[in-house]
Amino acid sequence: MGRARRRAPRPPVEVSGDETGAVGEVLSQDRLAQLAQLEERLGVRFRDRSLLDLALRHGSFSHERGHDPGKSYERLELLGDAVLSLVVSDDLYRRYPDMDEGGLAKQRARVVNEAALASVARRLDLGRYILLGRGEEKGGGRQRQSLLADAVESVIGAVYIDSGYGVAHHVVSRWIHELGEVIQRAGEDFKSQLQERLQRRRQMPRYRITQEEGPDHARTFLAVVEVNGRPLGEGRGKSKKEAEQAAAAEALSRLERGGA
């Protein structure tokens, strides 16, 4: 076999000029500038910037503008979830050659979960680039842990579609290693941390499962943690325990930001 051809470097993508978004509209200069800024944070230059725009369109934004419901980030989120799981599994398989299946699954769960992904989103300041409907905006969606985690997965899906698995693998691997201690915290007992913190204020958390979705073999739970009847955090998980841990993680993050 001959030597593989080297791919020619991509020309720089200009911010000026019209570009068409995911729903056929011309992206504004302000939006193009935002997307270019996010590309710098991601360390990725998109061939098709409309994919990145689509990855940041929440369903509420599309609904309020009468767009096709499919023109939101949900499909990319599904794809990104699969890519993320593969990248993390591949990384763990190579890093821990003597670890059994159960151990690898536990390690993967410490990274592929709502709290860890939301930490990635906050590090990227991803919330500022997401397009939300007015109701979702007023409801604090831009800082909601579950929404931030979904957006991270949709961006991964967009990177994969635009640049392939190799680039997506590089981006996700960099996030994992850069966050280091933050990602490690995803495996900690957030419920215990929250309870200890609230006890110092003579308060106690109360958890409620407010929603269950999906078939029996792929159930998803939504948990809310309250203090004195007031919601402090919410989270999703594949079990009630995982959802409560995610809710506790969001509550801790909110307390650290001084939001409660």
Residues 80-106 have pLDDT tens digits of 999 999 998 998 888 888 888 887 887
Using alpha carbons, list the distances in angstroms from residue 1 to 4, 5, 7, 8. 9, 12, 17, 21
- Cα distance between residue 90 and residue 169, in whole Å: 9
Position 217 confidence tier, pLDDT thresholds 50, 70, 90: confident
Query: Do 168 and 232 share a domain, yes or no?
Result: no
- Of these residues, 81, 162, 242, 244, which one is catalytic? 81
Query: Do 139 and 222 share a domain, yes or no?
Result: no
pLDDT at 12 over 60: no
User: What CATH number has the domain bearing residue 172?
Assistant: 1.10.1520.10
Is residue 245 helix, strand or coil? helix
- Classify the phi-psi angles of 221: left when phi > 0, otherwise alpha if psi is within -120 to 50, otherwise beta: beta
Active site residue 53: no
Query: Do 167 and 56 share a domain, yes or no?
Result: yes
Active site residue 153: yes
Query: Do 165 and 234 share a domain, yes or no?
Result: no
Position 178 confidence tier, pLDDT thresholds 50, 70, 90: low
- Of these residues, 150, 153, 234, 244, which one is catalytic? 153
**Looking at the 3D structure of the chain, how many domains does it have?**
2
Average pLDDT, the chain: 80
The predicted model scores a pTM of 0.65
pLDDT of residue 66: 59
Position 23 confidence tier, pLDDT thresholds 50, 70, 90: very low
Chosen domain end from 185, 209, 224: 185
For 112, the domain range is 19-185
- Cα distance between residue 48 and residue 13, in whole Å: 10
Query: Do 118 and 196 share a domain, yes or no?
Result: no
- Cα distance between residue 116 and residue 122, in whole Å: 10
Query: Do 165 and 200 share a domain, yes or no?
Result: no
Better-scored residue on pLDDT, 39 or 182: 39
